[in-house]
Amino acid sequence: MHDRTANLLGAASLAVTDVLLGAATAAAATGPSGTAALVVLSATPGLSTTELGRRVGLTQSAATRMVDALVGRGLAERRPSLGKWVTVHLTPQGAQAARSVLTSREDRVGALLSSLDADERDTLSGILEKVLTAVYGERPDSQWLCRLCDRESCLDGGADHCPVGAAEREAQARAREA
């Protein structure tokens, strides 16, 4: 009835999340959603407020308030697009904040991993790829799952290097075949 591995994963996941979010939100001086929005916009500028909100897990009204706050702090700006569309872009200050978030995230998680040797890190990477693939099965939304990811680190090994992206492409292929 009591699964120690599940308990350890749950405890470690929560602890790592606390460390990661604490460092990331401090680096951006925003809340978790604003921090995620900075990272998302650094990878995909020019999203609508609604799409940005979807990618960071907010309703449209909450996303509007978040974008208002980012604009008010000089981290983002709204730009007119086609017709009545308005898109959100980072300002230079917002781009710097996004870089600070990713650097802080890497530093803090890297410090946690420093107790592992190279073989242990490789083993952990393989396990995490399987776990992330399973998480995608539970919540098939790569944009939401990767909202605080350093996209460049997954692209270093090619398109299939990102387990979430690979799971998404596989799901899309299955849907086309059906």
Is the confidence at residue 7, as pLDDT, over 90?
yes
- Looking at residue 150, its pLDDT comes to 86
Residue numbers of the domain that contains 25: 13-115
Would 6 be classed as within a structural domain? no
- Vertex 38, ends 37 and 44: CA angle to 5°? 80
What does the pLDDT average to over 82-102? 94
Number of separate domains in the chain: 2
- Looking at residue 158, its pLDDT comes to 58
pLDDT band, very low/low/confident/very high, at 69 (cuts 50, 70, 90): very high
* CB proximity list for 30: less than 8 A, separation 6 or greater: 38, 69, 70, 73, 75, 97
- Looking at residue 54, its pLDDT comes to 95
Q: Are residues 110 and 170 in the same domain?
A: no
Q: Are residues 107 and 124 in the same domain?
A: no
Would 1 be classed as within a structural domain? no
Q: Are residues 132 and 157 in the same domain?
A: yes
Q: Are residues 71 and 111 in the same domain?
A: yes
Q: Are residues 78 and 163 in the same domain?
A: no
Beta-strand ranges (E) seen in 19-134 are: 76-80, 86-90
Q: Are residues 18 and 98 in the same domain?
A: yes
State the DSSP string of 53-75: HHHHT--HHHHHHHHHHHHHTTS
d(CA 160, CA 131): 16
CA atoms within 13 A on the CB side of 92: 0
Q: What is the DSSP letter of 139?
A: S
pLDDT band, very low/low/confident/very high, at 159 (cuts 50, 70, 90): low
Query: pTM of this prediction?
Result: 0.86
Q: Are residues 173 and 128 in the same domain?
A: yes
Q: Are residues 138 and 120 in the same domain?
A: yes
Q: Are residues 103 and 85 in the same domain?
A: yes
Q: The domain spanning residue 23 has which CATH number?
A: 1.10.10.10
